[in-house]
Amino acid sequence: MVARYGSAMAAPPTSTDATVAIETRALTKRFGGILALDGLTMGVPRGETFGFLGPNGAGKTTAVKLLLGLVPPSGGEARLLGRSIGDRETRRRVGYLPEHFRYQGWLSGREVLALHCELAGLPRASWAAEIDRALAIVGLDGRGDDRVAGYSKGMQQRLGVAVALLGRPELVFLDEPTSALDPVGRAEMREIIRDLRAGGTTVFLNSHLLTEVEQVCDRVAIVDRGRVVVIGTLDALLAEGPVRVRVSGLGETELAALAAFGSIEREDDGLVVRGLDRERVPALVAELVRLGGRIFAVEVHHQTLEDRFRELVERHP
């Protein structure tokens, strides 16, 4: 199912600590006269890998900062793991990889992780095992004693992910986790995300690399100008690709009768129908025949996430 958000806002799932990882209702943020986030309403079930997408300036980073309690909202409400945002105990159950970060070059990878173990309040007796586990997950085992100054950009990205995974968090925010990685590193990162999901961890993924999102996410939300334009599973979101029909014998009256199938546009040799679920294509064909149309071809365009993203953002007023 794809939910659309506009003047009539769809409600997110009912919040219970057992089922919902993230819930927002009309979450709003203003910076002076700038409306950065405009009534964000959505829900993310536990154990899901959720993609949060949008063009630059859409409000994605602002939303993450609000959810993490780094900045206060101007209006609305949100809950993480069943508790209000900013709750100190909940923060211990959440991991975060920011898009831009920098660690002191004179520290080793292990020392960076030890510092964050202390900041997270983890029992000192668990540090060594936690650090070894995190380094192994991100493929830096054997390099933990090296100084960060000698790490490549991709290795620093992996270290940032390792920091986010300390303490076995129930919910992890990853902001552009593959941006500095080569193709092999991106494939390994996808496996890390899949393993987190398999272990029951909820992953909230911000990324401009839509092909990466398409391979790992259960559902996605597309955000533009501070509002959710559409939210749903990838199968549902990509099931509404345009359908081109080469057909003759239809007048304006007949075209008007097709409005229930979606947005209808004339082409030289037929029609383009947008917003039509692929499962309804046979019903469209049957209706065209009933209206007296002569059909010569039906072409269903299978969209990529990038195609759909561009279509929705360009269409959104």
Domain over 242-301 is classified CATH 3.40.50: no
Contact between 66 and 29 under an 8 Å Cβ cutoff? The reply is yes
Q: What's the CA gap between 114 and 120, in Å, rounded?
A: 10
pLDDT reported for residue 11 = 44
Of the candidates 19, 101, 74, 47, which has an alpha carbon nearest to the alpha carbon of residue 219?
A: 47
pLDDT reported for residue 49 = 94
Q: Span 125-148, mean pLDDT? A: 93
Residue 206 main-chain phi, psi, to 5 deg: -95, 130
Q: How crowded is residue 298: how many other Cβ atoms within 10 Å of its Cβ? A: 17
What torsion, rounded to 10 degrees, do the Cα atoms 296, 302, 308, 312 define? 20
pLDDT reported for residue 5 = 39
pLDDT reported for residue 252 = 85
pLDDT reported for residue 2 = 46
Fold exhibited by the domain 2-236 = Rossmann fold (3.40.50)
Residue 281 main-chain phi, psi, to 5 deg: -60, -45
Q: Per residue, what are the HEC states of 44-83?
A: EECCCEEEEECCCCCCHHHHHHHHCCCCCCCEEEEEECCE
Q: What's the CA gap between 127 and 121, in Å, rounded?
A: 10
Query: Domain boundaries in the chain?
Result: 2-236, 242-301
Q: Which of 18-32, 47-61, 269-283 has the lowest mean pLDDT?
A: 269-283
pLDDT reported for residue 107 = 95
Mind listing the pLDDT tens digit for each residue in 128-139?
999 999 999 998
Higher pLDDT, 60 or 275: 60
Band the pLDDT of 14: cuts 50, 70, 90: very low
Q: What's the CA gap between 172 and 162, in Å, rounded?
A: 11
Q: What's the CA gap between 219 and 2, in Å, rounded?
A: 10
Q: What's the CA gap between 75 and 229, in Å, rounded?
A: 19
Complete edge-to-edge strand list for the sheet that includes strand 83-84: 34-45, 20-31, 75-80, 83-84
Q: Helix or strand or coil: residue 294?
A: strand
Q: How crowded is residue 259: how many other Cβ atoms within 10 Å of its Cβ? A: 9
Of the candidates 297, 17, 60, 6, which has an alpha carbon nearest to the alpha carbon of residue 175?
A: 60
Sign of CA dihedral 233, 158, 306, 57: positive
pLDDT reported for residue 307 = 67
- Give 147's contacts (C-beta < 8 A, 6+ positions apart): 105, 106, 107, 108
